[in-house]
Amino acid sequence: MRGRLAVLVGMAFAGCGGRVVLDGGSSGVGGGSPDAGPAADAGDGGDSDAADARPPVPSCTGSDSECVMDSAGNWSGASVITCDPVYFVGPWNLLLERSILSQFQVVQTEAVQEPGFGWTFYDGTGPPAKLTYRVCVVDAIGTRCDAPFTTAGPVDCLCEPFTCESLLSCNTVIDDACGHMIECGGCSDGSVCNPANMSCCGPGLMPNGDGTCICAPPGPCGAWNVVDCRCEPAEG
């Protein structure tokens, strides 16, 4: 159907760009030792403080993929991964990793500030299939990852827009239902634009939304004859 997305749009696009690049952060479970932390030389008290400062392991889940809109008004599919907020002091680097050829690879990075790493990732780079993800948190102490989980890959979000011709609109501006406004000129078939409904349908007619015209009363009518497109006296 024209002007309708292939799937129900759950939300608008929310910042897949502008990711922070990690300096020396590694992906995968583990990846560091307590001796590498900034408090390693602080004695027992320093080790305790470092342990207390560690962010907890992320708790993230995948939901059905959605259609999201970018800043230019274009729609695309994306896998949606949501991480629960945890109220500890940040910031930490949060990594979204996807299994590619049986190896987890970082596909997005986010520097998450206090109050924790509550965050939603939108990944439109995967194929339209079941995908396996995990989310890791990185700090000076090391890398800790959530258990892998599977979720739906990006869906087809092709939006078929309305056009002036498909709506038989003329001398007006229409919403193409795909995020754009279109200015319509005169009728492409050379017919006179009907000022009653700004369409290329003649008197007593109106666009049906599929490029055809249907009978429509020009105003209040007792009984509208849809065969002859005329008003008849009301019975009784």
Q: What is the CATH number of the domain that holds 106?
A: 2.60.40.10
Instruction: Indicate whether 136 and 187 sit together in one domain.
Output: no
Instruction: Indicate whether 59 and 144 sit together in one domain.
Output: yes
User: pLDDT value at position 90?
Assistant: 67
Instruction: Indicate whether 45 and 136 sit together in one domain.
Output: yes
- 28 domain residue, yes or no: no
Full domain range(s) for residue 53: 34-152
Instruction: Indicate whether 43 and 68 sit together in one domain.
Output: yes
Instruction: Indicate whether 136 and 169 sit together in one domain.
Output: no
Instruction: Indicate whether 106 and 169 sit together in one domain.
Output: no
**C-beta atoms surrounding 209 within 10 Å:** 14
Give the total number of structural domains in the chain.
Answer: 2
User: pLDDT value at position 218?
Assistant: 62
Instruction: Indicate whether 182 and 228 sit together in one domain.
Output: yes
Instruction: Indicate whether 168 and 129 sit together in one domain.
Output: no
- 22 domain residue, yes or no: no
Say how far apart CA 1 and CA 12 lie, in whole Å.
21
Instruction: Indicate whether 84 and 53 sit together in one domain.
Output: yes
- 24 domain residue, yes or no: no
The answer to whether residue 168 scores a pLDDT higher than 90 is yes
- 70 domain residue, yes or no: yes
Instruction: Indicate whether 78 and 146 sit together in one domain.
Output: yes
Given CA atoms 210, 215, 217, 218 in this order, what sign does their dihedral have? Answer: positive
The answer to whether residue 89 scores a pLDDT higher than 80 is no
User: pLDDT value at position 27?
Assistant: 33
Instruction: Indicate whether 84 and 143 sit together in one domain.
Output: yes
Instruction: Indicate whether 214 and 118 sit together in one domain.
Output: no
- Among 152, 184, 213, give the residue marking a domain's end: 152
- Among 123, 152, 181, give the residue marking a domain's end: 152
Read off the pLDDT of residues 100-146 as tens digits, 9 standing for 90 and up: 999 999 999 988 776 666 789 999 999 989 999 999 988 777 888 99
- 3 domain residue, yes or no: no
- 173 domain residue, yes or no: yes
On the 0-12 / 13-18 / 19+ scale of CB atoms within 10 A, 28 is middle
Given CA atoms 37, 40, 42, 48 in this order, what sign does their dihedral have? Answer: positive
- 112 domain residue, yes or no: yes
The answer to whether residue 22 scores a pLDDT higher than 60 is no
Please provide residue 216's backbone torsions phi and psi, each rounded to the nearest 5 degrees.
-155, 130
- Is the pTM higher than 0.85? The answer reads no
- Among 125, 152, 179, give the residue marking a domain's end: 152
The answer to whether residue 43 scores a pLDDT higher than 50 is no
Task: Give the H or E element holding residue 236.
Answer: none
- 26 domain residue, yes or no: no
Quick one: average pLDDT of 44-61? 64
User: pLDDT value at position 49?
Assistant: 53
